[in-house]
Amino acid sequence: DPPQNSTTSNNNSSSMITAATAASTTTATTTTDNDNNETAISSPTSTTTSPQTIPFRFIRATKGDIAASKARWAETCAWRQKLGMDTVLAEPHPKIKVIKQNYPHYFHLRGKNNECCYYEKPPKMNLPELRKQGVQLEDLLRHYATCCEYMWTEIESSEDGKSIYVIDLDGIGIRDFAGEVVDFVKRASSFTADHYPERSGSIFIINVPSWFSVIWNVVKPMVDEVTKKKITIMRYGKEAITEALMKKIDIENIPPEYGGKSMPLGSSPEEVKFMEHFEKLNIQN
């Protein structure tokens, strides 16, 4: 029989996978003429969003359906306006240090095809301490959105940029799939998939427990074939994980935590600049 929380687990696991499933993009955008409904390809705009200009990756995400991509882009523009995403990188972030100390997630160098590499350890998130320090779930979600915005404007500004996403599930228990951490993952996954589509190149889900296969077997039929090809699931075993990562990342760019020869997680140039960026803003304000 499946676990008692199997429905929640399956939905949340699907969302966790979806969080990283943005594929490749192209450099073009499509502009819609409201008067004659014609579309034209134009060069990328700045980070300021325009409802009239549809990034081509939104068209790819809707398999070429212009009407659907226009509607999806309009939703993204509304979301960005509501959260102030066009200015989020110019605003102070006073809770960034306590969030980073209690939620392990890192920008870390590049893949073999120049992909941005991002590592995350959801089971290590210390929600009780975060709450104690005044960090609420909405603060975490805004921080996650800030990380996305930083990656795709400061680390990689190209519209055809891709990522390699490494999700480390070391220490996760089946009860965790029904808790607040997965609620966070699910909500963060939702806006990542909706508003940053066509961004992911490869997804590694590592240090998975033996029972994860039960969840994956249920989720797998709901995942499209293109996404399946991006996902690598690894159980415990440092050497095997290192070998898997080396197919996409040079050993010099893999953190030592996973058998590589780079600097440790949290010490990469991207991570240092990310922290310095907001430290300066916090001092100025």
Question: What phi-psi label fits residue 120: left (phi over 0), alpha (psi between -120 and 50 degrees) or beta?
Answer: beta
Given a cut of 80, whether residue 41 has pLDDT beyond it is no
Point out which residues pair with 232 in neighbouring strands: 204
Given a cut of 60, whether residue 116 has pLDDT beyond it is yes
Do residues 118 and 165 lie in contact, with contact meaning Cβ atoms separated by under 8 Å? Answer: yes
Q: What SS3 class is residue 239?
A: helix
105-110 and 231-233 as β-strands: parallel, antiparallel, unpaired? Answer: unpaired
For the chain, the C-alpha Rg in angstroms (whole number) is 19
Range in 155-169, 215-229, 270-284 the model is least confident about: 215-229
Point out which residues pair with 202 in neighbouring strands: 164
Determine the pLDDT at residue 267: 98
For residue 186, give the DSSP letter: H
Determine the pLDDT at residue 9: 35
Point out which residues pair with 200 in neighbouring strands: 163
Q: What is the mean pLDDT of residues 242-271?
A: 98
29-32 and 53-55 as β-strands: parallel, antiparallel, unpaired? Answer: antiparallel
Given a cut of 70, whether residue 226 has pLDDT beyond it is yes
